[in-house]
Amino acid sequence: MTASKRIVLSSDHAAIALRQAIAEHITAAGWEAVDIGPTTPESTHYPKHGQAAAEKVASGDCALGIILCGTGQGIMMAANKVKGIRCGVCSDTFSARMIRQHNDANILSLGARVVGEGLALDIVDAFLEAEFEGGRHATRVDMIEAVEEA
């Protein structure tokens, strides 16, 4: 399968079950889930998992990513430290659609202690079905990328 259909998934210990449910869901929708763990419930550090997933997207190995922690906030902050990553945390479908359409987000972050499985799957679908609109939004994405270089 090409990188264009590969999605990396990672989380901390708080979100293993939801991450695995998402992996099954996206696989059923025709995506290749690249689940990089963790697989055991011992406490782990979300920054390393956010960075690892972001590096797979930034390298081109995966087209998109979905990362999770308790709130989705910390792992999102870690992922956004990787050059070329635009990750947003979402707890509703409208925001998930907009981060793709307007911000060309390449990683979605979710909070396992914020959204339940049903809503999480709807958010994932909204994110994956949306496409970047370009135009005036491309100028703004270019501005975001320039901030990284400063």
Which member of 13, 25, 102, 137 is catalytic? 102
**Angle 144-148-150 (CA atoms, 0-180°, nearest 5)?**
110
How far apart CA 30 and CA 15 sit, in angstroms, is 23
- Which contiguous run of DSSP H or E holds residue 138? helix 136-149
Which member of 69, 87, 90, 137 is catalytic? 69
| Residue 137 known to be catalytic | no
| Residue 69 known to be catalytic | yes
Give the position of tokens 């290749």.
32
Catalytic residues: 69, 102
